[in-house]
């Protein structure tokens, strides 16, 4: 369990909080590009790290991200006119530029210097991977933009899902830190095509269900941390190994098997009490099966709210009849199953009341690591993921491998299996000496 002070330190994301300052030292998604697709179109609200912002694309096509409220009388700029070079407030016509600078105050007398030194918060933006990214930290500490391997994939190989979650970001993030929970929360009882893990193309999830007590390994990396989960199989000479890569400040690559589509996830804190979970499905090899992804995860959402109908009030549509015939939880969709348990903890989980066990090893490791990184940040030490030589080209593995092999070699075994299956499919044979 954590003390209340430490729980506060790893859940509070405001600008003046240690974790808030840590998160602001990274490039993070602010919105989907589809939200501001039209030049000169309607601005959109963006809640991010406790700040109320507005994103827009001016008539020339330039994107911007600025403080939501006009510095004059605090009217929301979401209602504003989207004009060349910025947003014009409806109340008195003040115009705010991409830099946050007040450009015009037409209701003031000629020669007025009222706006000369007026400026609202504004943040730099980048467009990549279907997302509007921003950096909210000190300009002099801005890191290199991370070149994730999925950013430049064509639309048919990339699916960006944004889903509102009604709780603190950490409850979602710690769910994916937990290698043991899928054996229970995500267990399917059916092999019906497109409705089970195997049927929808994620055989790796079905393969791990035989052992619900994995051996867990954790280690710090230059990006943040890595987790390995080793499961027993029916063959004592073979293990089933899953690895996940964690990238600061709140990203992870979920373990996937040979030739499966890959998954990058992010938890974007709106404030201390709500977040957006981003599911980035991608496959460099073949087009994605989007209907299967939506059916299996249950996370299809749309603008403007990017919400599903599932809430704590309606018990996430849990059907106890399904518990006997379909799945362990009685909740349909893996993403909704995660949300059900995470939102059930309340807006911010009271970790002073927890009783952690061996299966929580990765969660414990992460909490200690983040608390240490906050101290190192204030001491001026380099932060994870900030080394400019890092390439951010990660891949995880979910694979059968010899029980006496090093779990760090899981990706090598996965790639070898992919080569072998590709050769079998094409009928290729090894050259003869």
Identify whether residues 127 and 201 lie together within a single domain: no
Residue 147 lies in a domain: no
| CATH number of the domain within which 175 lies | 3.90.380
| Domain ranges, residue 203 | 155-421
Residue 261, CA distances (Å) to 186, 291, 395 in order: 18, 13, 11
The mean pLDDT of 296-310, rounded to a whole number, is 96
Residue 431 lies in a domain: no
For residue range 7-28, list pLDDT tens digits in order.
999 999 999 999 999 999 999 9
Position 396 pLDDT exceeds 70: yes
Distant-in-sequence, close-in-space partners of 353: CB < 8 Å, separation ≥ 6:
1
Residue 149 lies in a domain: no
pTM of the model: 0.94
Exposure b/e, 7-30, CB count within 10 A at least 16 = b? bebbbbbeeebbbbbbbbbbbbbb
Identify whether residues 255 and 131 lie together within a single domain: no
Identify whether residues 128 and 166 lie together within a single domain: no
Instruction: Render 6-40 in DSSP notation, one character per residue.
Output: HHHHTT--STTSHHHHHHTTSEEEEEEGGGG-STT
Name the pLDDT band for 193 (thresholds 50, 70, 90). very low
Position 431 pLDDT exceeds 90: no
For residue range 267-285, list pLDDT tens digits in order.
999 999 999 999 999 999 9
Identify whether residues 277 and 354 lie together within a single domain: yes
Question: Considering the chain, what is the average pLDDT of its residues?
Answer: 94
CB-based contact 157:282 (threshold 8 Å): yes
Identify whether residues 136 and 180 lie together within a single domain: no
**What count of Cα atoms within 13 Å lies in the side-chain half-sphere of residue 279?**
24
Identify whether residues 115 and 233 lie together within a single domain: no
**What count of Cα atoms within 13 Å lies in the side-chain half-sphere of residue 205?**
26
Position 433 pLDDT exceeds 50: no
Identify whether residues 86 and 185 lie together within a single domain: no
Identify whether residues 244 and 328 lie together within a single domain: yes
Identify whether residues 205 and 137 lie together within a single domain: no
Identify whether residues 159 and 135 lie together within a single domain: no
The mean pLDDT of 280-295, rounded to a whole number, is 94
Residue 9: what pLDDT? Answer: 98
Indicate the residue among 84, 114, 141 that finishes a domain.
141
For residue range 209-262, list pLDDT tens digits in order.
889 999 999 999 999 999 999 999 999 999 999 999 999 999 999 999 999 999
Q: How far apart are CA 297 and CA 292, in angstroms?
A: 8
Q: How many domains does the chain have?
A: 2
| Of 48-57, 112-121, 155-164, 419-428, minimum mean pLDDT range | 419-428
Indicate the residue among 86, 114, 141 that finishes a domain.
141
First-to-last alpha carbon distance for the chain, in angstroms, is 62
Residue 372: what pLDDT? Answer: 98
């Amino acid at each position: 369990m954590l003390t209340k002070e430490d729980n506060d330190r790893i859940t509070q994301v405001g600008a003046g909080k240690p974790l808030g300052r840590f998160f602001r030292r990274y490039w993070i998604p602010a919105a989907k590009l589809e939200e501001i697709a039209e030049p000169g179109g309607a601005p959109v609200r963006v809640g991010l790290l406790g700040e109320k912002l507005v994103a827009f694309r001016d008539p020339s096509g330039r994107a911007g991200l600025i403080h939501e409220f006009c510095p004059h009388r605090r009217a929301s700029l979401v209602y504003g006119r989207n004009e060349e070079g910025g947003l014009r407030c409806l109340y008195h016509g003040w115009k705010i530029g991409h830099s946050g600078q007040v450009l015009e105050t037409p209701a003031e007398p000629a020669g007025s210097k009222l706006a000369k030194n007026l400026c609202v918060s504004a943040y730099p933006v980048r467009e990549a991977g279907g997302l509007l990214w921003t950096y909210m930290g000190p300009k002099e500490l801005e890191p290199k933009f991370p070149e994730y391997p999925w950013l430049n994939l064509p639309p048919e190989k990339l699916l960006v899902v944004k889903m509102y979650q009604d709780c603190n970001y950490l409850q979602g993030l710690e769910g994916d830190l937990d290698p043991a929970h899928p054996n229970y929360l995500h267990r399917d009882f059916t092999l019906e095509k497109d409705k089970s893990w195997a049927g929808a193309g994620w055989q790796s999830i079905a393969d791990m269900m035989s052992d619900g007590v994995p051996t867990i390994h954790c280690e710090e990396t230059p990006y943040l941390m890595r987790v390995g989960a080793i499961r027993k199989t029916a063959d004592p000479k073979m293990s089933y190994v899953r690895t996940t890569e964690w990238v600061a400040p709140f990203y992870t690559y979920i373990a996937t098997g040979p030739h499966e589509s890959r998954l990058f996830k992010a938890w974007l804190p709106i404030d201390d009490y709500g977040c957006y979970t981003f599911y980035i499905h991608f496959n460099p090899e073949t087009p994605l099966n989007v209907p299967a992804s939506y059916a299996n995860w249950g996370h299809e959402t749309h603008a403007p709210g990017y919400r599903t109908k599932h809430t704590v009030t309606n018990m996430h549509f849990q059907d106890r009849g399904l518990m006997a015939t379909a799945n362990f939880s009685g909740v349909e969709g893996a993403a909704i199953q995660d949300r059900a348990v995470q939102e059930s903890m309340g807006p911010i989980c009271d970790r002073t009341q927890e009783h952690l066990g061996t299966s929580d090893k990765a969660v414990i490791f992460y909490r200690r690591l983040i608390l240490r990184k906050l101290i190192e940040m204030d001491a001026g030490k380099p932060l994870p993921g900030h080394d400019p030589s890092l390439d951010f080209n990660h891949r995880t593995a979910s694979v059968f491998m010899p029980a006496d092999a090093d779990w760090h070699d899981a990706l090598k075994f996965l790639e070898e299996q992919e080569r072998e299956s590709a050769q079998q499919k094409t009928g290729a044979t090894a050259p003869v000496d």
